[in-house]
Each structure stands twice: as structure tokens, then as C-alpha cells.
Chain A
Amino acid sequence: MQERLKRLDVILGIHPESPYQVMEKALKRAPKDIISDLIDSGLKGRGGAGFLTGLKWKFAAAAEGDEKFVVCNADEGEPGTFKDREILTIVPKKVLAGMGICAYVTGAKKGYIYLRGEYKYLVPHLEREIAEFHKNCFKLELDFNVEVFLGSGAYVCGEETALLNSMEGFRGEPRNKPPFPTNNGYLGKPTVVNNVETLVSAQVVSRIGVEEFKKLGIQDSHGSKLFSVSGDTPRPGIYDLEFGLSLDEFVREFGDGDTKAVQVGGASGFCVPRKKFQSTTIGFPGGLTGDSLPTGGSMMIFNSSRSMYNVLRNYLDFFEEESCGQCTPCRIGCQQLKVGIEAVKRGDKDPEYLQQLLKLTDTMKITAKCGLGQSVANSFSSIVDNFREEMIY
């Protein structure tokens, strides 16, 4: 059991073959072979939604367009997530090689790294790396140019269509999907938007091959994953772990001996109480028994000194501020959930009122326009259901 928790160093490690050698090797293959390898590898997006990366690239490659784009999503705003910053700091060449391979496969000539404003200090470092990357592209006769595009402090801009709006000079409000960015992305052109870690993993598939990649992880969730571990833990930091570990194993390794709950996937993820640690695995929901939770990598640990009411209130504060305000269920819903739990806590509303608030989150789940409003229900219901007393007394 302990074995699973060995650090893998697939993502952040240094390997005999440099990222640009991996790219060179990939560029000698036919794009359609790279795509079918990616699909076979089962690699799913690491930004949270878990879409098959190979399919995304395939759609963009097949889309009609005189111009195409590759966008690396480095907006990393989910509370408790900090792995993309670490990747861009330690192994930027792997990210750029991933972008290069994607450009080759899709025919994109221009790429952007959408970097959250909070990480602006990274710009000089990234620009140096990009300059070196361009030299390698030139050597390999790959006509591809990358630029950094800086955000300005808006969590919702991590949503891919909001991100594109933001780049185009509009308010960073999510668009309706479909059309999807692979057909109708930046400036209406076919665009691949991938998370930082996804691009690295795509490069890993090229480096180690489908078979080796599939040996990592579990059914439906292949490969390794960076976890950002924080909260009540003696070992906060970033860990490269295999998919498929149970929360029980995780807590034994990272807890402080008094762990009451783990928030998997950030404020938009789920809060798992102690009694469910054993039955919960981390990976994309799939063929396994028990609950399997996807995660963008955020693992926040709470010990028994923490008030889960405060935790939930803090999340709702976050959502209320970060909601783009475009659609009513989310704009008003987030406010009312916060006001609602405050009223219950003060005793101005009966505990039964919590049921009504839960119904409101159900409505938000089906009526909100984007993932932000839709996923408020995750943390809200998992905290209210599992820690009801703490909401009331």
C-alpha cells in the first residue's frame, strides 16, 4: 500500500532525453499517429474537466481554418492549487515541447500561455525560455511562435471560453458551448486550450510511449498527477502521485493524525469526511467501485480544530466574488447561499432552511451557464450533508 505513495517525478523530474529531443522525435512521426497514441494512452485533461486530450487535438486538427491556435491555460485559480506555477518554474521546457507537438499535430502557428496576473513575476523567466524554444522550433523547421498573455485577477478566466474572451478584449465571461474552442476558439479559429500539466503529460506520452504511460494509474485514469497538498498537514507541497490512491492512504501519508475532512478538487470540488476516506479513490469517475473523485490536484486537509461552517463560508465568499455575474442562478445563487447559511447559523432561520438551500444548489447545477456556478453544489452539499450540526450550532 505504502508503495503507491512513492514520488514518481514523471512530471517534474529530469530525464536523459531532454524535452526538445522528445519534441524532435515526435515531429518525425505522422500527426495522425501521435493523435492515436494520445487517444490510446487515455490521457485526460488535468485542468479539472477531464476531457480526452487526444480527441481534443484530433478535433482541432480536423477543423477547417486558415489559422489555428494552441493556448496553454495557466490561469490556475482554484483554491488550493499551485502545481502549474511549479511546473512553469521548474520544467517550462516540457510545457513548451507539449505545445510544440500540439502545434505540429493541429497545424497551429501561434500559441499563447495565458498566465494569471498573480504569477506575473514569472514573465521574464518564461520569456527567456520561449526565446530558446523558438530557436529549437527553427532548427526543427516548425513554424510556431509562442507569447505570454497576462490575466488580471479573475478566477473565471480559467474557464476556457472566458479565457478566450479575455484574450480577445472582451469581459472574461464564459460563452455558450457548443461551439467548442476546437472549432470556434480564439478569434473564431480552431483552438486547443489545454492545462499546463496536460501539455506536459502529452509530452510524457511521446517520451515513454503508450504502454509505459498506461502502467501508471488505474483503469480510466492513466498516468500520474501532481497534487497540491495544503492545510493541516506536516508536509504541504507538490507531489507527483499515481491516480487511484484511496483517500485513506493519502491521509495516512499527509494528515496530521487528526484529519477530519479533505477537500478534493478545491472550492469547486468535494469535501470528504473521515468516515468516507476508505471508500473514496482519487481519479476520474469510472469503472471502479466506490466513489472516484476527479481533481485538478487541489487537496486541502482540515483537522478537527476547524469549523466546517467557516470553511464553507469562505468558499461562498470566493464564489460570490468570482462569479462573472452573467447568469442569474449563479450571480444571485452564490449570494443567497452565503446569506442563507449565515441566517441559519445566527438562528434567524430554522435548520430546515438548509434543505431549501440544497435545492437551490441543485437548480444552480442544471441552470448555471458555466462550471463555476454548476459546481458550487459540490462543496455546498458535501459540507452541509456531512457536517450539518456545524452549520446549525
Chain B
Amino acid sequence: MTKTDTMVKELVDKYGNKRESLLPILQGVYDIEHFVSDEAMVSIARNLDLSSADVYGKSTFYSFLDTVPRGKFVIRVCKTIVCDMHDKNQIVDTLENILKIKVGETTLNRKFSLLYTNCLGWCHKGPAMLVNDDVYTNLTPESIREIITDYKNRD
């Protein structure tokens, strides 16, 4: 078995091989590999007795299940209206400067990806962003620097 097959097998054992398990399994793959690879989709399809096109259709539907490789820490900055009003551009500029990438890109060392997302449900404390599952609010260029430094020091 390839590494991918083993990973998928473990997830199928955990969540079951019914169609209803598909989203939790895809999420599991994403948590481990930071994207859903073609190989993983084919392996899931085989395990759940679905067509790989079906699994592909499902993965590409969700904005959090990227099918291109992402960094270990995926930064998603809210670009919806309230955060936009609260200077999200300044936050994005700061991130682009620190990470030396543009929105949509991943750093060469595969540590960070910078993406936009829609309303995160923290509008009263905007601007807001997610780093993987963690929420950061009331962002300022200064707090961004601290947050990124902290993540740079993590493995």
C-alpha cells in the first residue's frame, strides 16, 4: 500500500465507508496533507465505491478543500464587507510583505499559504482571519507581525 492508501484506509476505518462519510474523510485528508491530491481522491473513490469524478466534484465544491498543494499554515483573510471597511487591505499588504507572496500563493518552504475567504462570523471584531482552524480578530499590522512570527517558530 502507498502512503496515501494507508492514510485513506485509516480515515475510512474511522468514519466508515458510506457515502455520508465522504466529507469527513476529505476533511481528514486535508488536515494531514494540507490539500486533497488526485491520488487521495482516487483512493477514496475506490474505498467508498464511487467514481473518482464524483469525489473530485465533491472536493472542488468546497472552498476549504483545496485540490492544489497548500502550505502547512493556511491563512484565510476575510474580504467581506465589514472587514473590508475595517481596513482589511492594510492587513493583506502587511501579510504579503512579511511572507513575500501574493494572495493565492504559497511560500517556497511550503509553510504558509495566503488566501481570501468570505465572512468568518467575527464582523464585530474585524478585520479577522483564520490560520488553519484558529481565529484571529481585531487585526492590526503589529498584531499580524506577532502572529506570523509565532507561526514561523512552529514546526
Residues in chain A within 8 A of chain B (CB atoms): 76-82, 84-85, 116-121, 149-155, 166-173, 187, 228-232, 236-238, 267, 300, 302, 306, 310-311, 314-315, 317-318, 321-322, 324
Residues of A within 8 A of B124 (CB): 82, 228-230, 236-238
Complex contact B81–A315 (CB within 8 A): yes
Complex contact B85–A154 (CB within 8 A): no
Complex contact B123–A306 (CB within 8 A): no
Q: Identify which of B18, B26, B27, B123 gathers the most chain A CB atoms within 10 Å of its CB.
A: B123
Given contacts A150-B24, A152-B63, A171-B57, A120 and B133 within 8 Å (CB-CB): yes
Residues in chain B within 8 A of chain A (CB atoms): 18-24, 26-27, 48, 57-58, 61-65, 79-82, 84-85, 117-126, 130, 133-135
Complex contact A152–B65 (CB within 8 A): yes
Residues of A within 8 A of B63 (CB): 152-154, 321
Complex contact A82–B20 (CB within 8 A): no
Given contacts A167-B20, A322-B118, A231 and B57 within 8 Å (CB-CB): no
B44 to chain A, nearest CB (A): 11
Contact of A300 among B21, B62, B82 (CB under 8 A): B82
Give complex CA distance A318, B79 in Å. Answer: 9
Complex contact B122–A82 (CB within 8 A): yes
A188 to chain B, nearest CB (A): 12
With A79-B80, A152-B26, A236-B123 known, 9 other A-B pairs at CB within 8 A are: A77-B121, A153-B62, A153-B64, A153-B117, A231-B82, A231-B85, A236-B124, A314-B80, A314-B84
Residues of B within 8 A of A306 (CB): 85
Residues of A within 8 A of B20 (CB): 167-169, 187
A361 to chain B, nearest CB (A): 19
Complex contact A79–B24 (CB within 8 A): no
Complex contact A314–B81 (CB within 8 A): yes
A123 to chain B, nearest CB (A): 9
Complex contact B64–A152 (CB within 8 A): yes
Q: Identify which of B62, B65, B126 gathers the most chain A CB atoms within 10 Å of its CB.
A: B62
Given contacts A120-B133, A230-B124, A318-B118, A169 and B81 within 8 Å (CB-CB): no
The chain A residue sitting closest to B117, CB to CB, is: A153
Chain A residues touching B, majority SS? mixed
Complex contact B123–A121 (CB within 8 A): no
Give complex CA distance A315, B19 in Å. Answer: 34
B18 to chain A, nearest CB (A): 8
4 closest cross-chain pairs (CB), A and B: A153-B64, A236-B124, A169-B22, A152-B62
Give complex CA distance A54, B100 in Å. Answer: 55
Residues of A within 8 A of B80 (CB): 79, 267, 314, 318
Residues of B within 8 A of A302 (CB): 85
Complex contact A232–B85 (CB within 8 A): yes
Give complex CA distance A271, B62 in Å. Answer: 29
Contact of A117 among B61, B64, B81 (CB under 8 A): B64
Residues of A within 8 A of B61 (CB): 154, 171-173, 324
Contact of A311 among B27, B81, B117, B125 (CB under 8 A): B81
The chain A residue sitting closest to B64, CB to CB, is: A153
Give complex CA distance A6, B108 in Å. Answer: 54
Complex contact B64–A76 (CB within 8 A): no
Give complex CA distance A151, B118 in Å. Answer: 14
Residues of B within 8 A of A236 (CB): 123-125
A378 to chain B, nearest CB (A): 15
Complex contact B23–A77 (CB within 8 A): no
The chain B residue sitting closest to A302, CB to CB, is: B85
Given contacts A168-B20, A228-B124, A322-B118, A150 and B27 within 8 Å (CB-CB): yes
16 residue pairs of the A-B complex, CB under 8 angstroms, read: A79-B123, A84-B121, A117-B64, A121-B134, A152-B63, A153-B63, A167-B20, A168-B20, A169-B21, A169-B48, A230-B126, A236-B124, A238-B124, A300-B81, A300-B123, A302-B85
Give complex CA distance A154, B48 in Å. Answer: 23
Give complex CA distance A66, B117 in Å. Answer: 41
Complex contact B123–A82 (CB within 8 A): yes
Residues of A within 8 A of B135 (CB): 118, 121
Given contacts A81-B121, A119-B121, A230-B82, A168 and B126 within 8 Å (CB-CB): no
B76 to chain A, nearest CB (A): 8
Complex contact A155–B121 (CB within 8 A): no
B131 to chain A, nearest CB (A): 11
Complex contact A80–B123 (CB within 8 A): yes
